[in-house]
Each structure stands twice: as structure tokens, then as C-alpha cells.
Chain A
């Protein structure tokens, strides 16, 4: 009865956790286990067998005491390396640079690894698309690496097949196709920028001249490229320089959260959201996007009205501001829309050369072209927007190519189809009936990481390696190349797209590493290659591969023609498809972190829903959670509705990526498949949607139910003009307070840790929440628990609406433990499990906590989280490899909360002090701060006047949340600023 000593002494059981982990890792990473046990698995109870623990808990302490002296736990084993891999110091993390693909473009990442075990993905400061920040999908993709539901090996007609055997089959297949030049061979791939894949495709087409490569991405940005071709004659790629933009008109573009280089955009945009030289953003959109929340003027209109609005702006520019070039493009609008357009036009004109018009991927090509012309006419081109040759091999990856393939399949012109695009059977527009067609292909070879709708119909399914297990390369939108390097050998037998293609090009024996390396050797030459290569791997980017901007000349006439031919706003209720902020097109539906992450705007978890405006809901007699039957072009899908304040009336936003029938445990049967309503003719914006109430209800698990501040001073906001007069109003929310208790003086301490959160920069995207989850081993609790409001996120992002429900502005407020200097939670804890450190940290000591939960009751900010159940008991052994060994894994019945990433503080401190140095004021970076693309969160030492956080806490916008309670929080907020246009106010 070893575990008996455990609840008494508060000592951990000698659980089998590490051994299991390490054994699997030893195999995976080809290295054995260094001193185990220095890897904590629980403050007292490791995630191990429920039976044993429940038995233990049933037993009273007295029984345990009795058993205690009788027997002792068996001693833990320590496993040493046979050969210690170079550069590995056991118990110290290593960081390796790599890149992940988003829409075929590179996002640079740094991966934290412990003895060859990746535990966290962070942004790569040296890479243009990341600048050190990481988005939701970069952060979350580490979870996919350890997903127990991943495929392994090759499956042919339901039977496993060795990779070597598959290589032979592929060779045979290739030989057969060679006869007719591959006339009946097709490749359905995702758009990519990878030079190595370019080589392989070239080899493929060289060997099979009559074969075809079709690119398909359900979220493709075709409209932008076609628009560019209209305007410039070439499908160029736009890169925005938001640092220089004073006035920004965004036409349905969610450029801060989900479109383009959104991390880079957010960084640049945020740099202009402070008192000094504040920019102004007009956002014209139907649904409430993250960018809409950040806008100064959110112009609420149906997606179909955006084009007319843009033309009205053009018309106004032409008419009132002497830009004849735009006369032919504009079309004046009447009424409110016209007035707004006029005001926007005036603003854009007054900021010519310092303004920007950008367009979202959903809008028609003609509008993209119009925007290009307007930018050119206003002299913004070359300043706030530059044009480059696209980095993608296939700039066009929309419905057109897929439809062509569908026709060929229907005509039975394809014998062998290699599918490396993600799950086309699910993502293809419904009217193509691709799922059925794919089933008919004689040889369908599908590269997939998990079971999905396509793997069900594929004869041969090849397990795809995770990017962190893969060799490869990618380019950023500016053309800068990055080498994708593996962090560990595949946990289960799996290959990359490169490996798969090379099997058909006769290079299957080489392997991805050789293919990538040789490709670059060929590109850059032998001389000093090895050294350069190592440099690229270390830096994460291949220096000097950026493409220069190209000079452009607009062809207004072509654009005018295109505008004339542009589709008119569809009649009736508008269906507006959108990539889900979390699941994207569905490829992240299996990611439990993203599923549980509150939707940035609606705070919805484990679901998607049809979003519509309060007015529309009233007209149709709908309430949150009502299930409706959506009918579009003869297809019907049942979906729950969610009433979104500020949504355009008579328009319904349908997020893609849910309603998966074949998926892993996390993704299957969640939400509704909006894609099943999508039609090739109008994949983004469609009309004539019918909506019928079914009378059924669906429970929507939202982490926030109440979106009004109740008139309390919580997330403060000011117009930038009013700020100078707000000083004494703000003084009520900051500074010293009279108290009968002498406040502890921390100014003498060497370090006084603190945080500053700038509400003006924050877009509410939620990356901080995910980064915190990854850093601090925060468990996933599932929909039922979220419905019981037991979600465990240490850092939540609250969103409040102000103004009318019809058209509110919104502000989001990241809120974690604010580390009160006089903390209400501390004095009520009966066992001293939460106490204050001399540097001002509000410490939560899991192994001392008995779980009275009084601390949470007395916490004014309600940022403490309680392990109501054993949320880790169900964790698969492979998933345990994800745990950060520097943070205790909390047991059932224990309170937890934000620790200011104390493990990072101590790592930096010990590193510095071992060298006899001091810790710099900005040397410690919290996980949330690191991930934030808008630099809204800053952590550091308040006793170092030079530190960024110290300066920010002196800012005129600083205030303390619930200051009146006298809790003296260490986390200070900076008020949200708005820069409205007086003419529209």
C-alpha cells in the first residue's frame, strides 16, 4: 500500500509516469532518459490510476497513518544516457528555430524542448511574419504533436503497409503512368511556398508531362490575387506597412487576427494606438471580428454592401477631392451610407500618402482591384502598401482549380490521385460532390495526420508527420525562406509531403532532409554551405532571400470594367461564410486547446454557431441556443444560433470548420458543418438563405455570460482627445489610499515584479490565454465542465460591449491574477497555501493547498481556478510528454492561478546569479507577454526605473482595476484609447 504515505507526508507517489513517458520518448528521440524524477508530475498525486487514488481518498487519514509506518514506497529509478546528445544539458530547456505553414506561408517559431521533448512553441523574433509573437494556431499546434488519435504508418485498403513496401508500389504505379506521360495522374495539394516542394513538383511534371497539379485551399485568397491581376496585370502580393498608416479603411478584412501576416500587422497597428500620433481605423464588416473590436468606427453593413460602400468612397474622393482617376470606378450612394462614405473619403484624402485601404479575402476581386487603385490614387502605394511577386507556387488555389479536378474525376479521367491537401472531401463546396467522386478514384493516395472524411474514402492513407517531426522549407509572404527542422523523430511512423511526392519522382530513398539540403546546396552553391546551413537552422531564416518590392502601374479601365461586372449584393437573408477563429477550415477542430479557448468575440467554446444580429433574431423570434434549419440553394443544415451584438441585420455569419463527422475525440460531432451549404458559385457571400426554427435547443458553453460593465469602472476607455482632461478622473483609480494598515514597503527590494496591460493595444485575440495554457500545464476540462463554469484558464480575456446592442463598440480586457500587494485571498487561507513573497508575488503553493476555496470566494477578480475533478486522470501517456517539467502538475482538489510565470523568473534569476550578475528589468518575459503580437502585455521589475513596465506604470493612462478595494494590484492597466472621426461622432 505505498500510496498511503502520500496524502500524509504530502509526498508524491513513485508514479510510473516518467518511465512511461521516457520510454516512449527514448524510442522517439533516439535518446534515453536523463535523471527522471526531476520532472514533476504532480504536487502530490501524479496522474496515474484512478482506482488507486480513489481508494486512497476513501481511506481516512487515520487509516493512512496506521498503514504509513508499516511499509515504504518503492524507490524511484534513475535512467542515464548511454551517449549524451550534443548540446543537451539534462534539466535545462533548449530552443530550436523552425517554421510552421499558414496558408502555405512560413510563420517562424522557436520550439522549447526538454531533453528532446518539445513542450512549447514560441514566435521567432528574427522572422518577419512572427516578430517573436505567436498566433493561436502556432501555439496550439504543439498539442497536435502529442495527439493519441494520430495515424501511424501506411494503410492500404484497410490493411497496414510498410513504408518500404509502399515505396515499391509507388514506383510501380509511377512506371505505369509514365507510359502516357501521366495523363491520368493528378496531384491535389495545398498552396505552398516551399522551394523543396517546388523542386519535387517540377520533377513530377518533368516525368509526367501530362499530369496536373491542382491547388486547393478552402480559405484561399484568390480574390486578392485576381484583384491584383486586374489592377496591375499580375497576381501580386500586398504587404502592408501599418506603422506608417494614419487612416486605415478596412473593407471586411480581419487583418489583425486571421488574414495575411496578422501577427506582423497587429504589431505595427498597435504601435500607433497610443496617445502619440494615434491612427484611425474604419472597419466595414457584417460579423463582429477581432479587428472590428479594435476599430474606431465599426461600419456595420452586410458583406454584400461593402462593395457599394467602397464605390461610394471612391465616388466621394473623385467628386470632392479632385481624384478624377476614380471617377469611373465610383458610384455615389445615398443616405447614411453615402454620408459615412463622404466622411471616410475626406479622412482618407486628408491623410493621403499616410492612409491605407485594405480588403478582406471574402470580398470580390473587383473590390480588391478598386482598393489597389484607390491606394495608388492617394499615393499610399509604396508607403503603406508595397507589392511583391507572390511567394506561393500556386497563387490561385480557390474553387476554380478544384472544380476542374471534379470534372475530370466525374469523367473518370483520373486513375491515380495523390491528395496532400487537407481533407478535400470535407472542405470542398458541397455542390462539387467531391466526397463521392474521390471514392471512385482507382488509386487515391491521401496524406493525413488523423482519420477524417477523406481518409474514409481513400484507398491508401499515408500518415503525415507533424511539422515538428519534419524536414522542409517555406517562404514568408516577403519571400524570406525558413528551414523547417524536426525537433524529434516521428512519434509514430509518418512521412512528410516531400517524402510522399519523392516516392513518385524516384527519389523516395533520399528522405526529406537530403531533398531540402541538396535543394539549397544547388541554389546557393557548395562554398561554405555547411556553415551557412547551420546558420540558417540556428536563425530560422535564410538571410537575403526576401523579394524586392516591385513598381506597379494601375490599369483603371480594367478595374472599371470588372466593377461593372461585379456581382450585385444577393437578395434576401445573406449567408456570410467565415473561417472559424479557432478551427479555421476545420483542420484544427481536433485541437482541444483551441476548442476550449473562448472564441475571441462570442466567448463560445466547443462549438460554432450561426451568428446574427439582435434585430434579425427578434424578427425571426430566435434566442441564443435555438436550433434552426439553415437552407441555401436546396441544401439544409441544422445549427444553433448565437445573437451577436453589432452584427449586420439580415445577414448570418456561418463559421466553417465544425460539424466534422470523421475526426478525433475532440473534434467529432461538434458544431455544425457550414461548409455543407457552401456553393462553388459563391463560396463566401451568398444570398437567399432560409432559416426555420426547429424548436430544439442546444446548450452553448460560453465562458462569459454577462457582457455589460454594469456602469462600473472596469475596462476604461477614452477618446484620445479627451485624455488630457481625464487625469483627475483617472486619479480615482490609481495612487495611494488611506489605510489603517501600514502598507509593506517593497521599494527596498532588489526586485518588485509587476505587469502592465495596455487595453489600447489589446485586440482580444486570446493568444495570451493559449500561451499561458502551454507554459503552465493548464488542463482541458471539456464542454460539460465549461457549462458548469469550471474552465481552468489562468488568463482570461473579458469582452465588454458599450452602446446599443444593435451597434456597440467593444473592449477586451485580459485578466489574470493581478498579484495584489494586500491580497484578499491570502489572509483567508487556513493553511498558508497562498502567501506573499518578499518580491511581491502572490504565491500559490499547490502542495500545501487543502482546497477550502475560500481564497477564490474572497478574490475580487475571480481569477483563481479550482481542480474540481481529476482533470489529468484521463491524459494519454503520450500527451503527458507535453507537460512543462518546470511547472507542477496540479492534483484534484487544489486551487491554482497565474504565478507571473515564476518558473521563468527563477530560471533567469538563477542563470544570472550563478554568474554573479543581476537580473535586468526586462529580462524576464512572461508567456503571455511573449505571445502577444500587439505587445499589450509587459512584465518586469518595477524597482528598475529603466524597465518598460516601470515606465508604463507611470503612464498617464495607467489605472488599477478595482482600485477602491485597496488591494494594490501589481498588474496595472492602461486605458483603451479611441480616435473617432468628429464628423461621424
Chain B
């Protein structure tokens, strides 16, 4: 009776099995990795907005405080997108002919809102509250990064649940004096741990890690 299988078939079978096994492991491992990559968390993506708004210019050159435009950041859950009105409070005077601001002026005269594209997106079942963070000395830059150096706003932190928990479990390294909260250029002192400990006492910072702290 002729041999059913050639010599190589053993090797072939073994490699096939091996590849299948590795493939399965690789898929799972790959996915676990994927969610930890900036690609998986939508980090560092530069998004084109209807208005070419340059934070560098407004923060660096004009030294405008974050809270001037994002005015509800210390009062409400949402930091707030400035109304067209606010843009024109300056730009009715300066650059009031600039084509860059056409969209803004159209919005104003047509009474049609500007439709921006969201950069920092948390799931809808997450109830993040800006006010409490800002009032407890968590600086804007902790999550939003050096906005003053961004031509176009991008997400610099993963904003995963793990990211939130890390800080909620140990907030002290992220604290800064309240007067520096909106100062993206603030340089922490050498011994930030000590400062953090002191501020945590001073501001009575005790973040919770209950589910309902964020999910309601």
C-alpha cells in the first residue's frame, strides 16, 4: 500500500497547528495592546475645525486665560464652548475684516451656531465634572496638555478609565495651587510630592473611586 502522506506532511501539520495557535494568541494580545496605543485612544489626532482657531496665538501672544472663553469650567460640569458673541467681543474691533473669521461673522449675522468637532470625547455614560476638578487644584494642562503650543487642539492623554483611576487613587502629583490652575505654563517645584500633599490638605482633596462617582 503506497504511503498516504509524504515525509513533509508531519512538519506541515505541526507548523499549521503552530501558526493557528500563535494567531489566536496574537489576536487577543494585539487587541489588548491596541487599546493602549494612542491610535486606540484617539490621541494626537489633529482635527480640522470650521474656524482655524489657533490656541497658541490666543494663549501665548494674547495671554488670554482659559476661563475667559471656557467660562463655566469652574461652575459647571461642562467647560463650555464660547458663544459666537464672545469671539466678536474682540473681533468686532480687531481682525474684523479677516477672511479667517468669515465663519464667525456668518454665524453671528445668520444667527446660526458654529458646528465644531469634538476633540475630547468621553463615553456618554461618564459624568465628568470640570468644576470640582478645577476647584480642587487640578490644572487644565493635566488632561489637556500644553494647549498654548498646539496649532490645532489634539487629545494628549488616553482618557481611559484607567487614566482617570490613576489620578483618583493618587491625586497629589497632579495638584497645583488654585491660582495656577489655568496656567498651562506653570512649572511644578522640585518637590512636587510635598506640594501635592500640602495642597491636598489645604483644598480637602479626597477623590472617590466609587462607580457612581462617574457613572449614574
Query: Which residues in A have some Cβ–Cβ distance to B below 8 Å?
Result: 9-12, 26, 32-35, 37-44, 46, 65, 68-69, 72, 75-84, 89-92, 835, 837-839, 841, 843, 845-848, 886-888, 899, 902-903, 906, 910, 913-916
A885 to chain B, nearest CB (A): 10
**Interface residue? B43 (CB, 8 A):** no
CB pair A77–B77 under 8 Å, yes or no, is no
**Interface residue? B21 (CB, 8 A):** no
**Interface residue? B215 (CB, 8 A):** yes
Q: Interface centre among B77, B85, B131, by most A CB within 10 Å?
A: B77
CB pair A92–B115 under 8 Å, yes or no, is no
For B92-114 the 0/1 string (1 means CB < 8 A from A) is 00000000000000011001111
Q: A69 to B132: give the CA distance in the assembly, Å.
A: 35
Task: List the 7 closest A-B pairs by CB distance, nearest first.
Answer: A32-B113, A91-B78, A40-B124, A81-B83, A837-B210, A80-B81, A914-B135
B139 to chain A, nearest CB (A): 16
Instruction: Contacts A72-B42, A906-B129 known; list 6 others, CB within 8 Å.
Output: A32-B113, A90-B76, A839-B210, A886-B127, A913-B135, A914-B132
Q: Interface centre among B78, B84, B125, B204, by most A CB within 10 Å?
A: B125
CB pair B76–A92 under 8 Å, yes or no, is yes
Number of interface residues of B (CB under 8 A): 49
Q: A971 to B42: give the CA distance in the assembly, Å.
A: 44
**Interface residue? B20 (CB, 8 A):** no
Tell me which of B34, B47, B108, B127 contacts A75 (CB under 8 A).
Answer: B47
CB pair A91–B113 under 8 Å, yes or no, is no
| Known A32-B113, A44-B125, A80-B114: A913·B204 in contact at CB below 8 Å | yes
Tell me which of B35, B79, B113, B115 contacts A81 (CB under 8 A).
Answer: B113
CB pair A843–B211 under 8 Å, yes or no, is yes
CB pair A91–B76 under 8 Å, yes or no, is yes
CB pair A91–B77 under 8 Å, yes or no, is yes
| A89 neighbours in B (Cβ, 8 Å) | 72, 75-76, 80
Q: A41 to B81: give the CA distance in the assembly, Å.
A: 20
Q: A816 to B210: give the CA distance in the assembly, Å.
A: 21
Q: A673 to B34: give the CA distance in the assembly, Å.
A: 63
| B108 neighbours in A (Cβ, 8 Å) | 82
Tell me which of A37, A92, A888 contacts B215 (CB under 8 A).
Answer: A888
Q: A903 to B215: give the CA distance in the assembly, Å.
A: 9
B45 to chain A, nearest CB (A): 9
Tell me which of B76, B115, B136, B211 contacts A845 (CB under 8 A).
Answer: B211
Q: List 13 A-B contacts (CB under 8 A).
A: A32-B113, A37-B121, A40-B127, A43-B125, A68-B31, A77-B115, A80-B81, A89-B80, A91-B72, A92-B75, A845-B211, A847-B125, A913-B135
| Known A91-B76, A887-B216, A899-B212: A42·B111 in contact at CB below 8 Å | no
Q: A862 to B196: give the CA distance in the assembly, Å.
A: 46
CB pair B116–A80 under 8 Å, yes or no, is yes
CB pair B84–A42 under 8 Å, yes or no, is no
Q: A62 to B134: give the CA distance in the assembly, Å.
A: 41
CB pair A90–B127 under 8 Å, yes or no, is no
Q: A467 to B110: give the CA distance in the assembly, Å.
A: 31
A943 to chain B, nearest CB (A): 15
Closest A residue to B108 using CB positions: A82
CB pair B204–A841 under 8 Å, yes or no, is no
B147 to chain A, nearest CB (A): 16
Q: A846 to B214: give the CA distance in the assembly, Å.
A: 12
Tell me which of B117, B132, B136 contacts A77 (CB under 8 A).
Answer: B117
Q: A735 to B109: give the CA distance in the assembly, Å.
A: 68
| A46 neighbours in B (Cβ, 8 Å) | 124
A82 to chain B, nearest CB (A): 5
B204 to chain A, nearest CB (A): 7
| A83 neighbours in B (Cβ, 8 Å) | 83-85, 111
CB pair A847–B215 under 8 Å, yes or no, is yes
Tell me which of B27, B115, B121 contacts A79 (CB under 8 A).
Answer: B115
Q: A91 to B42: give the CA distance in the assembly, Å.
A: 25
Closest B residue to A903 using CB positions: B216
CB pair A82–B107 under 8 Å, yes or no, is yes
| Known A79-B113, A81-B85: A34·B80 in contact at CB below 8 Å | yes
| B119 neighbours in A (Cβ, 8 Å) | 75
| A75 neighbours in B (Cβ, 8 Å) | 47, 117-119, 121
B176 to chain A, nearest CB (A): 17
| A910 neighbours in B (Cβ, 8 Å) | 129, 131-132
B177 to chain A, nearest CB (A): 15
**Interface residue? B82 (CB, 8 A):** yes
CB pair B124–A41 under 8 Å, yes or no, is yes
CB pair B124–A12 under 8 Å, yes or no, is yes
A392 to chain B, nearest CB (A): 44
CB pair A33–B76 under 8 Å, yes or no, is no
**Interface residue? B186 (CB, 8 A):** no
| A914 neighbours in B (Cβ, 8 Å) | 74-75, 131-132, 135
| B213 neighbours in A (Cβ, 8 Å) | 906
CB pair A69–B113 under 8 Å, yes or no, is no
Q: A843 to B27: give the CA distance in the assembly, Å.
A: 34
Q: A42 to B124: give the CA distance in the assembly, Å.
A: 7
| A92 neighbours in B (Cβ, 8 Å) | 72, 75-77
**Interface residue? B123 (CB, 8 A):** yes
| A65 neighbours in B (Cβ, 8 Å) | 27, 31
Closest B residue to A82 using CB positions: B84
A77 to chain B, nearest CB (A): 5
Q: A38 to B107: give the CA distance in the assembly, Å.
A: 23
CB pair B210–A843 under 8 Å, yes or no, is yes
CB pair B204–A916 under 8 Å, yes or no, is yes
| A78 neighbours in B (Cβ, 8 Å) | 81, 115-118
Q: A916 to B136: give the CA distance in the assembly, Å.
A: 9
| Known A79-B116, A843-B211: A35·B35 in contact at CB below 8 Å | no
Tell me which of A11, A33, A69, A81 contacts B123 (CB under 8 A).
Answer: A11
CB pair B124–A82 under 8 Å, yes or no, is no
B171 to chain A, nearest CB (A): 14
| B76 neighbours in A (Cβ, 8 Å) | 89-92
CB pair B77–A845 under 8 Å, yes or no, is no
Closest A residue to B161 using CB positions: A10
Closest B residue to A44 using CB positions: B125
**Interface residue? B203 (CB, 8 A):** yes
CB pair B113–A82 under 8 Å, yes or no, is yes
Q: A970 to B80: give the CA distance in the assembly, Å.
A: 38
Q: Interface centre among A39, A69, A82, A83, by most B CB within 10 Å?
A: A82
| B208 neighbours in A (Cβ, 8 Å) | 837-838
| B75 neighbours in A (Cβ, 8 Å) | 89, 92, 914
Q: A83 to B204: give the CA distance in the assembly, Å.
A: 37
